[in-house]
Structure formats: structure tokens, C-alpha cells
Amino acid sequence: MSSKLREECGVCGVWNHPDASVLIYYALYALQHRGQESAGIAVSPGAGEPLSLYRGMGLVSEVFSGEDIDRLQGRSAIGHVRYGTAGSNSLLNAQPLVVRLKSRSLGLAHNGNLINATQLRRELEHSGSIFQTTSDTEVLAHLTARDGEVDIEEGLLAALRRVRGAYSLVMLTPEAMYAARDPHGIRPLCLGRVGDGLIIASETCALDTAGAEFVRDVQPGEFVRIDHSGIHSRRISREEVRPAPCVFEYIYFARPDSNLAGSNVHQVRKRLGEYLAEDHPVVADVASGVPDSSISAATGYAEAADIPYEMGLVRNRYIGRTFIQPEDRLRQLGVNLKFNPLHKVVRDARVVLVDDSIVRGTTSRALVELLKEAGAREIHLRISSPPYRHPCPYGIDTRSPGDLIAAGRTVAEIQKLVGADSLGYLSEERVTEAAGGCPEDFCTACFSGRYPVPVDEDGGSSLMESDERE
């Protein structure tokens, strides 16, 4: 498992635009941080014709050539970037997934993780369904096929009412584009306008990149149909469910230039840094952030503590996804390759080092060592989230509490293990306050263990894969 948490997927869709596949291509570039293992686009060439699909392994820039995009002709398209939780990381599981339902073509692009997928798959196989992939999204396709013989929309809704967990979905048929967000709204999804057309994307940064204008978020539990008569909205669940969007999107996953539920992610992170300075003050000379995701929080800390913000670490931006994570005993080498300390900034300084989270602790320990070797006098680690103690079953690649340094340990024990002179975490209340609410308004399960969608005894894993990632 990576020492950093990874978001699993980004999705987008464009309806009724002459350059649909080009806009999707740009939107996928903007969503690249949400998945770097595969990318794909499915396009509708027109009413009555099956969707065309192009997918590949790698970054968006590696998967698509200009000719590939030119070939994907049509006024409506959906796209996907994947890191992948449920299902192996092979091309077979790359998305969009395109299936034939009787005589109709349906494309699906999914961000999230369905926690009852294994059970549903067993039931479906028992009654004759044959699966092509190990992805949980295919479970949704088979459920839709079962109920959607007459009407795809009713089939999709019936399928969504049976799955549990996290999903932000964009789906395409030649006649309509659909978007759906699970009743808790765990993963983000927003809607925009581009020219005469409409666009759906995981984050608003994709709308900006595609030259679109933000219209609104897709609401938790909302099912949207977009067709030539406009936007039509329905509820997925008949019950009232309390929304619980993932608070970690604010802390780390989303891009700082995105807005989630009206809050700008950079500004929320800056507030997290300010709260850290208020709650865990320390006498220090400089504040620094672990690049890139913690820079907003570190600037907030520096401003609130009235100490200079300095670039204490420089990150090598050209380490690709093929970078082989070394084993723990060589972890320092991997960190040296990724980060270089600015000796002149940190030498003899008391440094506040702000990071968004500590997952395994190996990187934090290596960074503290790196800065001390560069001459820092003291390292005060400040984390802009609470201790990460519980695995996430909703589409983030944490597997078991054994992978998490904070599971079963006190803050003092963690501090000792990472070698910092002091360690301070933000509380759940402060994190959710910075994001504009209180703990009950968000999913905070990886900190609190309170899972908004109850997980099974096995930890809610719906993983159908046998491969493990480092």
C-alpha cells in the first residue's frame, strides 16, 4: 500500500456539445489527481448507434493521442480516470464500462466503492449472470440489465436502490446522460453548463478546465437525467438519509482550486492550518508544508502563528506512477528521491512541518530525519486532520488497521515513532468546522469509526481482487 492515501477515481460527462470528447479529455486532465492508472472515454456517435469506447493504462497524456480523440466523434461522451479499489488494476477494469442491454448501449463511469458488491455478485452469478471484470461497477450493470429490459432509467434506479456504499456515477446512452450520487453523497459530483451543452464532473476544477460554468452540485441521493428536453431530477432512495460527504476530500483528495458544496478547498485547508496554530501553538522560526497538498494549511498556520512561511521541502514533480515504492528499510531513499530539503531555510531553525495526514508513518519519519540531517534544530509536526485510525471502505485504498500507524496508538506513541519534537493533530470538530459544519454533517469514519453506511464484519470490504498494490 502507498504511504499516502489515494483517491480512486474521477468521472465526467458532456451532453450535447460538438467537441464532447475534447472537453472530456481536458476534464480528465483536470481530474488526473483522482486516478493515474487508467483512463477512458466512451462517446455516443448518435441516436440508435452503440457507444464507441477507448481506454488504456496510464496517465491521460499517455493513453490518448490527438488521433484517438479525433476518432471519438459524437455530441455526448463520458470519461473516467482510475486508480482502482474494487477490482484489479488491469485494462479489463479500466472504465468507462460499456455494456449492451438488449439492443441498447450503456456506458458507466463510477467513483466510489459499493460495499455489498460481493454479495450481489454472488446472487447474480447464482442466477446466471456472467461477469467479464472484477469491478464492482459491473455489478451495477448486471443489476440494471435485470431490471432495465423495458426502461433503462427504471433499471438504473432499481439497481441503485439495491447497492450500498459510495457512488458518484455518470452514465450514457445514445438517448440521455445520467448522473447519480449515493444517498450520503460520500464522493463529490457537480453539474455545469458549457456552450449549449451540459457537463458533469467529480470536481469543479474540471468544469473550469473545460471552459464550463458551474451550475450546482448533484445532491446526495439525486438521480439526474439529461436529454434534449433538459435536466430532470429524481430521488434514488425513498427514505430520508442524512448526507455524509467525505471530509477527507477537503483535507487532501480534492484539488485546492475546486469548490465542494460551495466551499473552496484551498480556503478550507488554510483554515485548517489556522486552527492548528490556535490549538497546537509552539515557539518556532518557520512553518513549512509537505508539498503539494499541505501548502495551503501551512500558509494558514504561518499567518495565524505570525511566523514566516518558508519552502522547507521541494518535491520532485517528475516521479511518475511507475516509481517503485521501496520496502520500509529503504524508505528513506524513496523519500530522498521525492523530497529535497532547502538547507539554507531549515538549518538551525525550529521548523513547524504541516502535513495533511499520517497514514503508515514511514514517510513522516523519513521527512523528519531528512530535515534534521539538513540541520533543522527542532521539527514540530502538525497534522491538519485527526489521527487516521480506521480503514475507508468507500473508495480509498486503505486496507486494514495494521497499515495505519494511529490504529491503537496514542499521539505520544506516534510522535515517538516518527521522531518529531512535538506532534499535534486537529480534532474532528475543528476539521468539520473548517469545512462548514459539524461532525454529524460529514463522513469522518476513518477518524471516528462511525461509518455512515454500516460495514460488514469483514470491514465492509467488497474487494473482488486478488492483486495487492504496494
- Applying CB under 6 A, among 77, 265, 423, 446 the residue interacting with ligand SF4 is 446
Q: Could you tell me if 259 and 214 are in contact, meaning their C-beta atoms sit under 8 angstroms apart?
A: yes
Is 117 one of the binding residues for ligand SF4 (CB under 6 A)? no
Choices 151-159, 361-369, 378-386, 441-449 (CB under 6 A): range interacting with ligand SF4: 441-449
Residue from the set 212, 247, 434, 463 that interacts with ligand SF4 by CB under 6 A: 247
Residue (of 324, 373, 314, 318) closest to 347 by Cα position: 373
261 is a contact residue toward ligand SF4 (CB under 6 A): no
Is 446 among the catalytic positions?
no
CA distance 465 to 232: 36
Per the structure block, which three cell numbers stand in for 7? 483517491
Instruction: Decide if residue 444 touches ligand SF4 (CB under 6 A).
Output: yes
Of the candidates 189, 423, 445, 463, which one interacts with ligand SF4 according to CB under 6 A? Answer: 445
**Catalytic residue (one of 9, 190, 205, 392):** 9
Contact 430, 275 (CB under 8 A): yes
Q: How far is the CB of 261 from ligand SF4 (least distance, A)?
A: 14
Among 98, 152, 396, 464, binds ligand SF4 (CB under 6 A): 396
Does the footprint of ligand SF4 cover residue 248 (CB under 6 A)? Answer: yes
Closer CB to ligand SF4, residue 276 or residue 359? 359
Q: Among 109, 226, 246, 261, which residue sits at the site for ligand SF4 (rule: CB under 6 A)?
A: 246
For ligand SF4, which residue of 186, 261, 277, 423 counts as binding (CB under 6 A)? Answer: 186
Size of the site for ligand SF4 (CB under 6 A): 11
Q: How far is the CB of 268 from ligand SF4 (least distance, A)?
A: 14
Stretch that binds ligand SF4, among 15-23, 35-43, 113-121, 440-448 (CB under 6 A): 440-448
392 touches ligand SF4 (CB under 6 A): yes
Q: Whole-number minimum distance, CB 389 to ligand SF4, in Å?
A: 10
404 touches ligand SF4 (CB under 6 A) = no
Region of 142-150, 169-177, 289-297, 437-445 interacting with ligand SF4 (CB under 6 A): 437-445
- Separation of alpha carbons 14 and 221, rounded Å: 21
Q: Which residue among 268, 358, 443, 455 contacts ligand SF4 (CB under 6 A)?
A: 443
**Other CB atoms within 10 A of residue 232 CB:** 13
CA distance 261 to 203: 10
Reading the block at residue 199, the C-alpha cell is: 457537463
Q: Give the separation between CA 151 and CA 142, rounded to whole angstroms.
A: 14
Given the complex with ligand SF4, which of 6 and 80 has the nearer CB atom? 6
Q: Give min distance, CB of 227 to ligand SF4, in A.
A: 31
Pairs from 397-405 (Cβ < 8 Å, separation ≥ 24): 397/1, 397/2, 397/5, 397/6, 397/8, 397/83, 397/85, 397/469, 398/1, 398/5, 398/359, 398/446, 399/1, 399/461, 400/459, 403/1, 403/359, 403/360, 404/359, 404/360, 405/358, 405/359, 405/360, 405/361
Nearer to ligand SF4, 81 or 445 (CB): 445
Member of 394, 415, 426, 461 binding ligand SF4 (CB under 6 A): 394
Angle at which helix 136-147 crosses helix 117-126, to 10 degrees, equals: 50
CB of 245 vs ligand SF4, minimal distance in Å: 8
Cα 365 from Cα 368, distance rounded (Å): 5
State the Cα–Cα distance between residues 388 and 444, nearest whole angstrom: 10
Closest CA to 193 of 181, 180, 204: 204
**CB closer to ligand SF4, 313 vs 396:** 396
Rounded to whole angstroms, the Cα distance separating 100 from 148 reads: 11
Q: Which of 216, 438, 97 is nearest to 224 (CA)?
A: 216
Regarding 115 and contact with ligand SF4 (CB under 6 A), the answer is no
Q: Which three cell numbers stand for residue 49?
A: 448507434
Q: Give Cα separations from 108 to 40, 96, 126 (angstroms).
A: 11, 5, 24
Q: Which stretch binds ligand SF4 (CB under 6 A): 72-80, 244-252, 320-328, 459-467?
A: 244-252
> Which residues are annotated as catalytic?
9
Using CB under 6 A, list all residues that contact ligand SF4. Answer: 186, 246-248, 392, 394, 396, 443-446
